[in-house]
Amino acid sequence: MHPTALPIPAQPAAAWQGVDFDAGLLQRLGKSGPRYTSYPTADRFDEGFGYRDYLHAVAGLRTRGAARPLSLYLHIPFCDTVCYYCACNKVVTKNREKAATYLAYLKREIAMQAALLSNSSEVEQLHFGGGTPTYLSDAQMEELMAHLRRNFRFAPDAAGEYSIEVDPRTVSPERVHTLRAQGFNRISLGVQDFDPDVQRAVNRVQPESETRAVIDAARAAGFRSISIDLIYGLPKQTLDTMRETLDKVVAANPDRIAVYHYAHMPRLFKPQRRIIETEMPDSDTKLRMLQLCIERLGAAGYVYIGMDHFAKPDDDLAVAQRQGRLHRNFQGYSTHADTDLVACGVSAIGAVGATYSQNVKTLDEYYDLLDQNELPVARGWRLGMDDALRRSLIQKLMCQFEVSIPALEQAFPIVFRDYFAPEVARLRQMEDDGLLTIGEEWLTVSMKGRLLIRNICMVFDRYLAIQPDAPRHSQTV
Ligand code: SF4
C-alpha cells in the first residue's frame, strides 16, 4: 500500500444518477479486462484476414440490398510532443512535412473506400481521432473535408454527428470557429487534469485559461455537444487535486464527460516508462477518486452512461440510452447504431457487415500497400453466428445494462438457458453479490453492478475462456 493511503471505510452503496458505488465490491472484484469496443476484442483479430476478405464483406453488403448508413473514422496519428500516459498509436514529430505526405495517402485510401461504398450509402457519422487531428493545419483540414465531400454523401448537419478530438494546446478560439465552419458539430477536448503539477508529471502542460477559451469558443461557434476527457490515477494526483479539477470541469459545463482510469502498462507502452511510479496514487486512492467523480458529477446533474462516461440528461447519449438506442463502437458510445464503420488511416479499425478489419500500424507499411493500390488491411475477423450472438448480448449489457432473453432467442437460433448454461452458472455468483438478476425474461444489471459491467461481459467472452487474458487490458475499475 502507498504510504499515504488510508483504507476505504466500509460504507453502504451510494446511488448517484444511475450507479451505486460499493467500494468493498469494487476492491474485491476489480481485475483487468477488455473495454468491449468490439467483440471479439481487437487483440483477437486474425492476420489471415486481409484486403480480399474486406472486399468480400463489402460485396456482401451489396447483395444484402438495403444499404445501411455509413460511419467514417479517420485516424491522424501525429502529435507535437508525447504525453507520458499515452497508449495510442501515434507518431511524435515536429516535422510537418510528414503530415503532408500522410494526407496524400489518406486521401487515396478515402477514394478507394468511396469507390466501394459511397454509391449506396450516406454518411451519418464522422469522427476524427488520433494522435492529434488538429496537428493538420487549417488548410490541410479544409482540403481533407472537401475531399471527403467529393467522395461521400453526407447527411445534413442537423441529422449527422460529425466529431473531432481536439488538443486544446493546438487550437485557438478562431480555429474552433473554423472547425465548425468546416462541418464539425461535436468536439471532444483532452483535458486529463487541470492541476499544473499533474500536467508537468505527464508532460502535458495545458493552462486552464487556454482550455476554457476553447470551450467558450466551441459554445459560441454552435457545436452541438462539447465533451471533456479526464484521467484519474495519474502521478501527483490526489483527492484534493481531483476535487479541484472536477469543480473546474463542472463550472465549464460540458455536455459529456469521460473519466478514464489510467492503465499503467509500461511494458506495452514505452512513453509510460517515463512516469515516476512512486508518484502515482495507490489503488485505494484511485477508488476514492472514482467515487469522488461519480458523486461530484452526479450532484452536478450528470447521468452515468456506462464505463467511463457521463452526460447531461438531455444530451443525445442519455436520451438514446433511455430509448434503448445506445450503441458502442471503437470511439466509445454512439447514438448511431445501425451503421457500417469505414475506418481510414494507419491502425484504424472498421466494422463492415459481419467483419472487423484493422489497418497496418506503421506509416511505411501503410504507404507501401496504398502504392500497390491495395487497401492497407493488416488483420481482421469474420464473425460467425456465435460471435454475432455474443456481440449483440455484450452490446446490450454495455449500453442498456439489460438483455431481453426472448428478444435474443428471436434474433438467434438458441434457447438462452441451454446455450449459455455454463455462463448462467457463473453469473449466479454475481447474482449473489447483487451485481445482477437473471429472471425468466430479463438479465438485468443492478446499479451496483454497473461499475463492474466489464466483469459481467467477460463471462460471455468465449475467447477469454479459450485463452485467458494476458496483461494487455486495463483494470475494470
Ligand atoms: S495522449 Fe494524445 S496528444 Fe498525447 S501523445 Fe497520446 S495521442 Fe498524442
Q: Which atom of ligand 1 is nearest to the CA of 87?
A: 6
Mean pLDDT, the chain, integer:
91
User: For residue 46, what is the DSSP state?
Assistant: B
Retrieve residue 140's grid coordinates: 490541410
For 218-260, the pLDDT digits (tens) are: 999 999 999 999 999 999 999 999 999 999 999 999 999 999 9
Residue 405, classed as helix, strand or coil, is helix
Task: Calculate mean pLDDT across residues 77-82.
Answer: 96
Over pLDDT 70: what percentage of the chain?
Answer: 93
Alpha carbon of 126 to ligand 1 centroid (Å): 20
Pocket test for ligand 1, best of 75, 81, 83, 188 (most atoms within 8 A of CB): 83
So what's the pLDDT on residue 15? Answer: 44
Interatomic CA distance for residues 17 and 152, integer angstroms: 40
Q: Which atom of ligand 1 is nearest to the CA of 79?
A: 8
Predicted confidence (pLDDT) at residue 145 exceeds the cutoff of 60: yes
- Ligand 1 atom 2: residue of nearest CA: 131
Please measure the distance between the N-terminal and C-terminal CA atoms of the chain and give it in whole angstroms. Answer: 17
Pocket test for ligand 1, best of 88, 188, 347 (most atoms within 8 A of CB): 88
Interatomic CA distance for residues 422 and 457, integer angstroms: 14
Alpha carbon of 4 to ligand 1 centroid (Å): 30
Over pLDDT 90: what percentage of the chain?
Answer: 80
- Answer for the pair 375, 51: CB distance below 8 angstroms, yes or no: yes
Q: Which residues line ligand 1 (CB under 6 A)?
A: 79, 82-83, 86, 88, 90, 130-132, 167
Alpha carbon of 206 to ligand 1 centroid (Å): 13
So what's the pLDDT on residue 468? Answer: 58
Retrieve residue 66's grid coordinates: 438495403
CA torsion, ordered 321, 327, 330, 332, to nearest 10 deg: 0
Pocket test for ligand 1, best of 92, 93, 128, 132 (most atoms within 8 A of CB): 132
Alpha carbon of 423 to ligand 1 centroid (Å): 38
Interatomic CA distance for residues 193 and 111, integer angstroms: 39
For 46-75, the pLDDT digits (tens) are: 999 999 999 999 988 877 666 789 999 999
Angle between the N-to-C axes of helices 363-371 and 97-117, in degrees from 0 to 180, rounded to the nearest 10: 50
- Ligand 1 atom 4: residue of nearest CA: 83
For 298-357, the pLDDT digits (tens) are: 999 999 998 889 999 999 999 988 888 888 887 788 887 778 999 999 999 999 999 999
- Answer for the pair 109, 69: CB distance below 8 angstroms, yes or no: no
- Ligand 1 atom 6: residue of nearest CA: 86
Q: Which amino acid is at 168?
A: P
Interatomic CA distance for residues 306 and 320, integer angstroms: 13
Alpha carbon of 78 to ligand 1 centroid (Å): 8
The model's confidence at residue 6, banded by pLDDT at 50, 70 and 90, is: very low
Alpha carbon of 131 to ligand 1 centroid (Å): 5
Interatomic CA distance for residues 123 and 342, integer angstroms: 10
Task: Calculate mean pLDDT across residues 391-404.
Answer: 94
pTM of the model: 0.91
* Sequence-separated (6 or more) residues with CB below 8 Å from residue 213: 173
So what's the pLDDT on residue 331? Answer: 77
So what's the pLDDT on residue 28? Answer: 86
The model's confidence at residue 44, banded by pLDDT at 50, 70 and 90, is: very high
Interatomic CA distance for residues 30 and 477, integer angstroms: 6
- Answer for the pair 225, 186: CB distance below 8 angstroms, yes or no: yes
Retrieve residue 327's grid coordinates: 450503441
For 438-463, the pLDDT digits (tens) are: 999 999 999 999 999 999 999 999 99
So what's the pLDDT on residue 12? Answer: 38
In this structure, the strands spanning 256-261 and 225-232 are parallel
Alpha carbon of 267 to ligand 1 centroid (Å): 18
- Answer for the pair 449, 434: CB distance below 8 angstroms, yes or no: yes
Interatomic CA distance for residues 347 and 73, integer angstroms: 11
- Ligand 1 atom 5: residue of nearest CA: 82
- Ligand 1 atom 7: residue of nearest CA: 131
Alpha carbon of 133 to ligand 1 centroid (Å): 10
Alpha carbon of 121 to ligand 1 centroid (Å): 33
